[in-house]
Amino acid sequence: MSAVTQIGQATVKRNEALEAEVGQMWLNTIRHIEDVIAGSKFGFQHFAEWADPSIEQIVASITKIDGLLNSILDGAMGVVDHEHEVKLANCQQSIHLIRRVHIALKYKNQAEYDDVITKLTQQSK
């Protein structure tokens, strides 16, 4: 089902099924943020070895979300309303932060790790 919306001078049909998919993507992204925050409870030294799911599993999953997200933002899959575009932007920002956690762990950069965990914790509130 599609609803009509005005974008500039053009009238376009929103894709409500796509908007539902965006909502699901946001829920999945929140779940991954929660997974990273849960892993951070083990501390910087033990996150990589004790977190379940592992940071690599989380990154693999968000990579799939990121590909779909970019297709939607590019308009290749249809048009969504403002609320859903904001959710997409929030997903994109969260994915970026999760990747930064992965990089910080990979290169043993605790200052970067601490900074990003703080940002993810604030974003999840």
Least confident range from 6-10, 75-79, 90-94: namely 6-10
**CA 10 distance to own-chain centroid:** 30
Q: Answer whether residue 124 shows pLDDT above 50.
A: yes
Domain residue spans in the chain? Answer: 15-123
The mean pLDDT value of the chain amounts to 89
Hey, what are 12's tokens?
Answer: 């376009």
The answer to whether 97 touches 120, Cβ cutoff 8 Å, is yes
3-class secondary structure, 3: strand
If one counts every other C-beta atom within 10 angstroms of the C-beta of residue 84, the result is 22
pTM as predicted = 0.86
